[in-house]
Amino acid sequence: MTIAQGRVEAIDTAQPFDGRSLRQCFGQFATGVTVVTTEFAGALFGVTANSFSSVSLEPPLILWSLRRESAALEAFTKSGHFCVTVLSADQTDIAQKFAASGGDKFAGIDWQPGKGGAPVLAGGAATFECALEAAMDGGDHVILLGRVLRFARHDRDGLVFARGRFAVTREHPGRDIEQPARGGGRRPDVAPDFLLQLLFHAYNSVSDAFDRHRREEGITTNQSRILAFLYDVAGASASEIARATYLGSGAAEDAVRALTGDGLAIKGLDGKFALTETGRARREALARHFDAFEAEEIAGLSAEDIAATKRVLRALSRGASGEAGE
């Protein structure tokens, strides 16, 4: 029998042991990094946690755990609501800020009140707004089970914690070998000035910058796409919405369900969805936000550059939809 390279002596927990050794062993399991927030008795509370885990889809449940000695324990067990923000790769400073004790953790932090008043932090990879379902014994921790009331996903790399250090997610190098690009060869890196890549980055940059305005209206990126589409049509099925908004069927269904639950959309007897008057008003409010945002973003561009960009984008849009050129 051989011993795996790098293995250290096994420790039996039936005998006295050093808790640090167990912590180091736990650290071999890479986790995402979250900040969990709540509002209680007029005060805001937030902690960094890597114990977050999904539990169930039906019903939608998640869990995380908090040390019994935490000063925020009463707030999280009695407030009734909390929000889990999955941090993005560039939010190590936020992770460290909420991991520290004392001080105003929310000073300088961009956030909006969510369900039950729990703060929803900006810039994360995902957010889960939850109602507290149960608080259970977990030894020196309390396990908090939450029912997801609203969630949002953003196309950002997540922050990872492993072996006591922050890390970022990257695609495994073996994927390119196991899944070659169409045509048989390995896909080369895309040039940084490749037109479609520039369009992709420009869209994501502008969308991220506009996200603050969506949050002010209580809308996610996917929901705003659907609001815009349904505003111009009499009604559409879930599959039609998914195709028109370039969302996958699962993402479209989740967003439509949230819009319906918030009274912004309604499902007819024909199975098609349409906006309510409240939904149309929300879409018009978003449009006013975007008019002001667009004017600010393009203020430094010449009229000629703007016109040329619009011509290129219209031409690409016609090509993508199969329409004939002029």
User: Which of 38-42, 199-203, 238-242 is predicted with the least confidence, judged by mean pLDDT?
Assistant: 199-203
Task: Count other C-beta atoms under 10 Å from residue 145's C-beta.
Answer: 16
Phi/psi at 223 (5° precision): -65, -35
Helix (H, G, I), strand (E, B) or coil at 302: coil
pLDDT at 215 exceeding the cut of 90:
no
Strand order in the sheet with 159-162: 31-32, 159-162, 165-168
The residue among 66, 61, 67 whose CA lies nearest residue 145 is: 61
Q: Is the dihedral of CA 226, 228, 230, 233 positive or negative?
A: negative
Rounded Cα distance, 296 and 286, in Å: 15
* pLDDT at res. 21: 67
Asked if residue 185 has pLDDT above 80, the reply is no
Domains, the chain, with CATH or none: 31-162 (2.30.110.10), 195-321 (1.10.10.10)
- pLDDT, tens only, 76-113: 999 999 999 999 988 999 999 999 888 899 999 999 99
Of 165-174, 198-207, 273-282, the poorest mean pLDDT is in: 165-174
- pLDDT-above-70 percentage for the chain: 79
127-144 residue pLDDT tens: 999 999 999 999 889 999
Query: What pLDDT is recorded for position 102?
Result: 80
Helix 221-231 crosses helix 238-245 at what angle (to 10 degrees)? 110
* Residue 108 CB neighbour total at 10 angstroms: 9
pLDDT tens digits along 224-250: 889 999 999 989 998 899 888 877 677
Lowest mean pLDDT among 154-168, 190-204, 255-269: 190-204
Q: Report pLDDT for 324.
A: 38
| Per-residue pLDDT reduced to its tens digit, 47-86 | 999 899 999 989 999 999 999 999 999 999 999 999 999 9
pTM of the model: 0.55
pLDDT band, very low/low/confident/very high, at 20 (cuts 50, 70, 90): low
Give residue 242's pLDDT. Answer: 85
pLDDT at 3: 39
